[in-house]
């Protein structure tokens, strides 16, 4: 088990989705003496919190010459660029060049950021290549998520085992365990609920934890409970401005048969289409709607 250091609280708040609290902790940590490598990590975590909060301009404006911060600046630009903008491809090329540069050789922070950018671009192979060696706890945690995304449950379990071997009680190991349990279906959903409830009780609920708990409850068939989680996400954490919360609300409403007459569900879908066009759920929905309209037009013109 790893020993806590001056950034333990900052990391915990970031991983659990308490981004505003993490920013406050990061500013407080800047006033405390710490080793140079922790100072660098603190700055990176502050930028990552700003990324999560959509404060992209602050990252670009405040980025220095450090190679890890350059990667974060590319991440900010990528997320702040429309999905159909051709400049995104140039950003990905810049990121690949940065990864291949001598300055970035062996830099785990650059590798982690590149993984996140490639995931945002739906380039799973490239994302996995950045972290597959599992050089850090965060690398292993990302491996778990990518393996689950490509339906390699066996490899996700292997990566989770390495994560637990490094520190079974860490927040990353607990979160990864919950995600694997969710992917396991109804039979293991109870394990995920137990883990997520424990984290919420210890550190307080967050948008991240509430959405994960809602997903777990939906897997378990407990849609009323999931709806309660999502209502808390909306009421307490501004979930109506979060893509994952909106997607979960739409899915939950469909299972509860609350979407037949439009209402909130139609509004959530419209918000997703206008504000989160690059989200996989939205892209899939638009593709299905387009296919339906093309088939329907055949009968209208017949």
State the pLDDT at residue 287. Answer: 85
- On whether residue 190 sits in a domain, the answer given is no
At residue 85, the pLDDT reads 87
Structure token pair of residue 120? 């945002």
pLDDT, one tens digit per residue, over 93-150 is: 999 999 999 999 999 999 999 999 999 999 999 999 999 999 999 999 999 999 999 9
Indicate whether 65 pLDDT > 80: no
The DSSP letter of residue 101 is S
Residues 148 and 215 in one domain: no
Q: What is the pLDDT of residues 220-256, one digit of tens each?
A: 999 999 999 999 999 999 999 999 999 999 999 988 8
Same domain, 228 and 158: no
Cβ proximity of 48 and 14 under 8 Å:
yes
In a domain, 232, yes or no: yes
Examine the domain organization and report whether 154 and 235 are in the same domain. Answer: no
Residues 209 and 297 in one domain: yes
Predicted confidence at residue 302, as pLDDT, reads 53
- For residue 116, give Cα distances in angstroms to 1, 134, 141, 174, 271: 26, 15, 12, 20, 24
**What is the structure's pLDDT at 62?**
59
pLDDT of residue 61: 61
Give residue 151's domain range.
134-183
Co-location of 230 and 297 in the same domain: yes
Q: So what's the pLDDT on residue 101?
A: 95
Closest CA to 28 of 9, 3, 54: 9
The predicted pLDDT at position 265 comes to: 85
Same domain, yes or no: 249 and 277: yes
Q: Is 121 within 8 Å of 92 (Cβ atoms)?
A: yes
pTM: 0.91
pLDDT at residue 298, as a whole number? 79
**Residue with token string 């919950």:** 178
H helices of the chain, in order, are 8-15, 19-29, 36-52, 56-62, 67-79, 87-100, 108-120, 124-131, 137-149, 153-167, 171-183, 186-203, 207-219, 223-237, 243-255, 264-275, 280-300
Residue with tokens 């909306």, as numbered in its chain? 234
Residue 240 CB-density burial (10 A; 0-12 exposed, 13-18 middle, 19+ buried): middle
277 and 223 in one domain?
A: yes
Asked whether residue 23 is assigned to any structural domain, the reply reads: no
Helix/strand/coil for 113: helix
Does 146 fall in a domain?
yes
Given phi > 0 = left and psi -120 to 50 = alpha, else beta, which region is 57?
Answer: alpha
For residue 239, being part of any structural domain is answered with yes
Q: How many domains does the chain have?
A: 2
- 279 domain residue, yes or no: yes
pLDDT at 3: 60
CATH of the domain at 246: 1.25.40
């Amino acid at each position: 088990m790893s020993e806590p250091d001056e950034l333990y609280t900052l990391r915990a708040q970031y991983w659990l989705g308490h981004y505003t609290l993490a920013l406050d902790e990061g500013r407080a940590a800047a006033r405390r003496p710490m080793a140079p490598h922790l100072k660098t990590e603190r700055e990176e975590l502050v930028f990552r919190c700003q990324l999560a909060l959509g404060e992209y301009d602050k990252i670009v404006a405040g980025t220095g010459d450090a190679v890890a911060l350059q990667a974060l600046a590319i991440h900010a630009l990528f997320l702040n660029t429309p999905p159909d903008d051709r400049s995104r491809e140039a950003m990905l090329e810049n990121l690949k060049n940065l990864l291949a540069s001598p300055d970035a050789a062996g830099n785990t922070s650059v590798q982690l950021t590149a993984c996140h950018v490639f995931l945002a671009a739906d380039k799973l192979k490239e994302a996995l290549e950045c972290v597959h060696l599992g050089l850090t706890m965060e690398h292993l945690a990302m491996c778990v998520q990518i393996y689950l995304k490509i339906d390699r449950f066996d490899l996700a379990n292997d990566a989770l085992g390495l994560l637990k071997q490094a520190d079974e009680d860490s927040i990353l190991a607990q979160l990864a365990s919950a995600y694997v349990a969710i992917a396991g279906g109804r039979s293991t959903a109870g394990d995920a609920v137990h883990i997520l409830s424990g984290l919420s009780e210890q550190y307080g609920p967050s948008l991240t934890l509430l959405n994960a708990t809602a997903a777990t409850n939906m897997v378990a068939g407990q849609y009323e409970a999931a709806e309660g989680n999502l209502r808390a996400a909306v009421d307490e954490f501004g979930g109506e401005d979060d893509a994952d919360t909106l997607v979960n609300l739409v899915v939950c409403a469909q299972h509860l048969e609350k979407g037949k007459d439009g209402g909130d569900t139609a509004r959530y879908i419209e918000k997703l289409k206008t504000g989160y066009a690059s989200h996989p759920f939205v892209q899939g929905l638009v593709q299905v709607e387009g296919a339906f309209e093309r088939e329907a037009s055949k009968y209208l013109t017949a």
